[in-house]
């Protein structure tokens, strides 16, 4: 006989059960999501956590207990994996937005000491700013800019891929966007 569960599975709503069944049967879904859905369905049907782990192709009932506890708290978002280990993420959405805002700003030759941004000059500007990030690394800046769709151009500074300025015959400058920029990158 198994022990009493500290955090038993809560009753599933019809929408949750339908979604879990669809994910559990899916052949195009990621394997970890399918395994989590199978474990949650088995646990909600009254199976012991060890039996639910076996039904999901896993070994440990403790993992199912943690999954059920997380499902009780956040719902279907428990199907998605969390942070995969290593040190915790230091920079959230606000910090990434701050990095992007600084990268989009045109550098001032006097205060920033450059006419175009490089990773180190952008890092220096972010570290010096009163609302900046005092410990940001160039790797974090690079990853943030790449995730936002920016690429380093040798003759220009960090520019958004697929967006360029064109000067018309009448002298006005307009921004032109390439609609195929995203498919061309991949």
- Residue 158, phi then psi, degrees to nearest 5: -65, 120
- Report the 3 state secondary structure along 51-112: HHHHHCCCCCHHHHHHHHHHHHHHHHHHHCCCCCCCCCCCCCHHHHHHHHHHHHCCCCHHHH
DSSP reduced 3-state for 152:
strand
84 within domain boundaries: no
Q: Is the Cβ–Cβ distance between 55 and 42 less than 8 Å?
A: yes
Please indicate, yes or no, if residue 180 is contained in any of the structural domains: yes
Structural domains in the chain (count) = 2
Q: Do residues 54 and 134 both lie within one domain? A: no
pTM above 0.75, yes or no: no
Per the domain annotation, does 90 fall within a domain? no
Q: Is the pLDDT of residue 2 over 60?
A: no
Residue-averaged pLDDT of the chain: 87
Q: For the segment 87-136, what is each residue's pLDDT rounded down to a tens digit?
A: 888 888 999 999 999 998 888 888 888 878 889 999 999 999 998 899 99
Burial-class residue 48 by CB neighbours within 10 Å (0-12, 13-18, 19+).
middle
48-57: long-range pairs with CB below 8 Å, 24+: 48/2, 49/2, 49/5, 50/2
Is residue 124 domain-shared with residue 68, that is, in the same domain? no
Local confidence band at 86 (pLDDT 50, 70, 90 cut-offs) = confident
Which one-letter DSSP state was computed for residue 125?
H
- DSSP letter assigned to residue 131: T
- Would residue 86 count as lying in a domain? no
Enclosing domain of residue 157: 96-185
């Amino acid at each position: 006989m198994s022990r009493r569960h500290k955090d038993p599975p809560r009753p599933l709503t019809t929408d949750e059960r339908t979604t879990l069944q669809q994910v559990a049967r899916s052949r195009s879904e990621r394997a970890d999501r399918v395994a989590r859905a199978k474990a949650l369905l088995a646990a909600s049907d009254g199976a012991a956590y060890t039996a639910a782990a076996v039904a999901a192709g896993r070994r440990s009932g403790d993992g199912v207990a943690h999954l059920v506890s997380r499902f009780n708290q956040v719902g279907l978002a428990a199907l998605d994996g969390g942070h995969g280990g290593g040190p915790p993420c230091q920079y959230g959405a606000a910090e990434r937005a701050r990095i992007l805002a600084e990268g989009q700003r045109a550098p001032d030759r006097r205060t920033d000491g450059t006419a175009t941004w490089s990773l180190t000059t952008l890092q220096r500007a972010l570290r010096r700013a009163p609302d900046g990030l005092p410990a940001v690394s160039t790797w974090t800046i690079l990853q943030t800019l790449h995730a936002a769709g920016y690429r380093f151009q040798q003759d220009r500074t960090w520019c958004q891929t697929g967006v360029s300025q064109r000067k018309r015959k009448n002298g006005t400058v307009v921004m032109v966007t390439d609609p195929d920029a995203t498919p061309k990158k991949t």
